[in-house]
Structure 1
């Protein structure tokens, strides 16, 4: 959780530092037309339905949330069998940060 929070703070500061100006705002407005939101809305609704199903479906008489998991077990699980997935996710986040930097840098304007 701390790692994910640190990554989100990093993205917030990258977005704050970019400050691309009115030209990029106009470009984003042209990209974000109302029809584009149909796909993400459908996916979000499916995820919400799945979350509600998992929360309210009782299997074998037990509800979710009656077990505790300590930090050591989470670390062993993440850096044990899921090590490759965690490393791939970190490389993807690094690539996203580098891409945001390159997209946000101001090019020298010709005079």
Structure 2
């Protein structure tokens, strides 16, 4: 059965287009979450449940929640109350609700049928196969990615510390002048 795959792909494509064309950042983030969940559904359909679970946990779960919190923190102010009320209209939530409903129907259909009918691949790829591939064939790429992530973490720490430290040193020197 190919129709669940194509329907999930259609949901992912439409959601991704809405991410790019939407001017409201919160609506774009909702569309991005729907798109990432649809890609995870595609992973489940083609026989890679481990990749689908990682997609949901890492991207749709952790990173998107972080993006939503950042957008919410940047929109502080009294003018945002009217903007937040406009987000609660039914037309705002109609698209994400419709796409989620389609993905829910595909999930219910997939779970109600046997796994051999729903999986397009020949075999399921589990965590053991992913671990063996990552730490044998792709070990150098994993190490390079780890070093890049470590370097970016150290750079972000030092950039943030320098900005914080400058303000603290000025306040500290002013406090010392007042005291002395």
TM class, shorter-length: 0.3 to 0.5
TM-score by length of 2: 0.30
Which structure has the greater CA radius of gyration?
2
The structure that is helix-richer by fraction is 2
Report which structure shows greater RCO (CA 8 Å, sep ≥6): 1
TM-score normalised by structure 1 residue count: 0.44
